[in-house]
Structure 1
Amino acid sequence: MKNDRHAKILELIEQYPIDRQEDLLAHLNEAGFSVTQATVSRDIRQLHLIKASVGDGKYRYVSSVSAKGPRHSQGRFETIFRESVLKADWAGHTLLVMCYPGMASAACELFDSMQWDFDVVGTISGDDTFMALMRTEQDAEAICHELQQYITRH
């Protein structure tokens, strides 16, 4: 029952811009799950859901943890990347992405989960920076320029 409910929650937050527990509770009830506010709150914690900005001062629940394999949608990538990354640069075959303190690991995991048209050899992450080794200098430059469009200037 719990696994089915968790799967439904993940489906609902992908389908609808849900930003409040009460809205998630209503959607679950409509889907035939009889749950309480306390259960929804616990499910949100267990699923590691976070509220991410979607622009215009609005937020929605998104999953902060991915299952094995690429699961992140382009919209989710853009939202989380904008909230995590300060700057991207490249030198030679290396892409350097500077993040807010504590955010590099999440941003790197998100980067790794995406399907790129560039040849990424591998990545490594620290606390506030991650690096990606690219197959060619052209790949490093091109992906850097692509990532820069997702970075919010403060």
Structure 2
Amino acid sequence: MKTQRLNVIREVLTSSHVSSQDELRRKLRRRGIHVTQATLSRDMHELRLFKGPGGYSLPNGHAEEPEVEDDQPPSFSEMIDSFGLRVRQAMNQVVLATAMGGAQPVAAALDREQWPEVVGTIAGDDTVLIICTDTRHAGEVAARLRTMLRG
């Protein structure tokens, strides 16, 4: 049952736009698959879905089972390219503005990078607060992010 449900989720995501979990639940229900929000959330996590400006997507952009090398979450660089807008520094903190819905995946990607000058991140919906070890390191992080944004 679970395998079938995961396959239907992949099929739905590759054949239509899905902007919310509730919308995905309705589309699954129309296909005869009834799930709770908790089950759907676990399935989405297992499939490593991410939400971008265009709605939910599979990590490799395909309906097939991901190849091992495709099963990695998007890199921080890819996340900045997709969501990053502008950067400002305030003391030992850097504020990164993102597209709506982009802050959490960007912060998670930065956390995975484990930059030594970054103590941690806090994400809202469209803003990431990056806390650095000191003002000098915050300036370096801000400069690095600006370079990445210019591409």
Q: TM-score range by the shorter chain?
A: 0.5 to 0.7
Displaced runs of 4 or more, over 4 A: 37-40, 42-46
Report matched runs for 1:1-154 at 5 Å: 41=11, 46=44, 47-49=47-49, 61=60, 76-118=75-117, 120-152=118-150
What's the TM-score once normalised by structure 1's chain length?
A: 0.52
Change (3 A) 1:43 1:148: same
* Structure with greater helix share of residues: 2
Structure 2: which 5+ runs fail to align? 15-42, 53-58, 62-71
Report the count of equivalent residues: 103
What amino acid maps onto 1:80 in structure 2?
M
1:38 Cα shift? 6.0
Change (3 A) 1:135 1:106: same
1:61 Cα shift? 1.7
| CA distance in structure 2 between the aligned counterparts of 1:134 and 1:39, rounded to whole angstroms | 39
* Structure with greater strand share of residues: 1
Structure 1: which 5+ runs fail to align? 4-36, 53-59, 63-71
Change (3 A) 1:96 1:42: same
Question: Could you tell me the percent identity over the aligned residues?
Answer: 22
Change (3 A) 1:86 1:43: closer
| CA distance in structure 1 between the aligned counterparts of 2:126 and 2:136, rounded to whole angstroms | 25
Root mean square deviation of aligned Cα: 3.5
